[in-house]
Structure 1
Amino acid sequence: MSPVIRPRRLRQTPAIRRLVAEHRLHARDLILPLFVREGLDEPVALSLMPGVLQHTLDSLVDAAEHAVEAGVGGLMLFGVPERRDATGSAADDPEGILNVAIGRLRAALGDSTVIMADLCLDEFTDHGHCGVIGAHGRVDNDATLERYGQMALAQASAGAQFVGLSGMMDGQVGHVRATLDSAGFTDTGVLAYSAKYASAFYGPFREAVDSQLQGDRRSYQQDPANGREGLRETLLDIEEGADVVMVKPGLPYLDVLARVSDSVSVPVWAYQVSGEYAMIEAAAAAGAIDRKPAIMESLLAFKRAGAQAILTYWAAEIAAELS
C-alpha cells in the first residue's frame, strides 16, 4: 500500500518550504559585536577571526553605520585600552576608550539602533580576570560588584542603552540595577549574561581584546557539565531585575538555551562566540563545508532553541542579505 501521510508534500519546492517554515531569521534578530582599541591609527585585522577588526574610533562609527543600514537589531561594544592595572581603572574613566566610543556611537546613531556595552573588567585588568583579585589570589566577588556599579554609571552616562553584565559575579544584576536606579538611570537596561560557561570556545576573542588572562575563570563561570545550573542562574538574575537574559556560548549549549527559553517570560538571547565563528570560517576555507549555508543553519539553530536575538560576528553580512 502507498503511504497516506506524506510529509514530503511540504518539502517539494522552495516556495512551499518557505510557507511552512516553523522559524524565520530576520535582520533585526542579529546583534553585531564590535571591538574598539585605543591608540590605533588604522583598523587591525584579527588573525583568528577572518573579517573581524579591532577598530579605531573613526572606523568603529563607519562599521556601526554600515551595520545599521544593513538592518541589524543592535550593537555590542567592547573596548581595548592601552594601559591596564589591577582594578581596571580605565573601565569607568569617562575618557576611557570604551566610554568615549559609546558616546561617539550614540552621537552618530541616536536611537536608530540599540547601543550596548560589555560591562566586565577582563579587558581592563592587567591579570585578565573579570574582577578584583583579593588577598588570597582569587576574584573577590563583593569588591568586584562595586567596580561593576562604577562601570555601569560610566557607560550609562556615555549613552549606553543596555549594559551587558558578563562577569558572572553573584548578585551583579541586583547591585548594578540598584546603582543605576539610585543615580537616575532607570531607563538603562540590564542584559545579563546569565548562563555563561567556562568554555574552550572563547579562544579567538582573547586575541580581539588582547587578553592578559592568567589562569582560568572556572571559579566564577559555569561548569560545562551543568545544565540545570544555567536555569538557576537565569532565574536569580530575573529576580534581581534583569531585563534580558543570555546564554553563552551558543551551539554547544542549545539545550540550556531551550530550557531557559521555555522557563522565563523576559527576552532570551544567545551569543555565537568567537570559537564558533572561527570554526565555520576555517572549515569553509578548507573546503570542508559550504560557508553560507553553514552560517545560516547555525543561526537558525538558535532561533529553533528559543533565542529571540543572536550576537554574532556575521550580523552585518547576514542582515544585508536578509534585508
Structure 2
Amino acid sequence: MPPRRATRAQIARDAREAQDEHVQPAVPQPVAPQIDQDAMRQMIQESVQQIAQETARQAAQEAARVAAQEVARQMAAAQQVPQGPQIHVQQGPQIHMQQVPPVQVQHDHQAPAQQAPAPQYPQVPIQPVPGVFQVPPPPPVIPVHVPEVDETFIRVLSQMKYVNLEHFSGTTDPTLAHDWRHSLDKCLNTISCPSRHKLRIAELYLRGDAAVWWDGVRVMHHGEMTYEDFLYAFNKKYFPREALDEKKNDFESLRQSGKSVREYEHEFRQLHRFAGIGMDEEDLIRRFLKGMRVELHGRCSMVTYTSLEDLV
C-alpha cells in the first residue's frame, strides 16, 4: 500500500509540472506614450484652416464660373438664341448648377452679293447673381475745366518786372498823379503791350486808396471797361480840369525873380508839360525870355536863338 500512495503523489506532481509547461509566462504590456495635447490641438486647427481655405477657393472658382455662364446666357438671349436651362444657384459653400448647352453657330462660307448692315441689338443689363460679389461700376468721369493761359499776357507781365514802374497808392498832388500816369503809358509802350492787356497791367500796380477807388469805379460801371476808360476816370479823380487850369496859370505867370537861370529853366519845363502843349520852339523862347529878369532879358534879346537849349 505505501508504494501505491507514493505513486499517486508522484503522478500528481508530474501532472502539475506538465500543466506548468503549457502555461505561457506573463508578458509585460507596452506603456503607451504620452500625447502632447497642445501639438494635437494645433495640428487640428491647421487642418481645419486648410480645409476652410480650400473650400473658399473652390467656392470662388465655382462662383466665377457661374457668373461667366450667366453673362454668356444673357448674351445669347440678346442674340435671340434659344436659351438653355435656367441656372439655379443656392447660397452656401456648395453651389449646384446646371450647365448651359453650347451655342451652335453655323458659318456661311458663301460670300453674299451685298453686305447687309450689322443688326443692332438692345443692351441687356446684367442681373446680379446671388452669392457672387458684384464689382461696382467705375465712377463717372467729371470733366475738369482747365483755364486757357494767355502767353502774351504772361510775357507782358514778366517784362514789366524790368521797367521798374512804381506802384500808385493815391495822392493829392496832381503833378505826382500826372507823372505816374505818364510813366505807366511809357512802360506799356516800351514793352509793346497789346491794348487788351493794358487795363489788367494798370490794375496790378494800384495799391491802397487807389485800389479801393478803382474797385468802386468798377462796381458803379456796368459792362466791360477799357484802358481808355481807366485813363478818363484816373484823370477825373487825380488830375481834374481845375488842376490843369491852375498849371496853365502858373505857367503864364512864371517869373525868374531870384532864381538862377537853371532853376528857372527847370520850373519852366515842368509847367510847360501842362500848359505849353501846341507851342512851337519860337513861342517857347519868347515865353522864356518874358519871364527872365530885366537885365538878362535885354542882353538875351539881342541874340537870335534857334532852340531853348541854346538860350540856357
Normalized per residue, the structure richer in strand is 1
Higher Cα radius of gyration:
2
Q: Considering the TM-score relative to the shorter chain, is it more than 0.5?
A: no
Looking at both structures, which has the greater relative contact order when contacts are Cα pairs under 8 Å and sequence separation is at least 6? 1
Q: TM-score, normalised by structure 1?
A: 0.20
What TM-score, normalized by structure 2, do the two folds share? 0.21
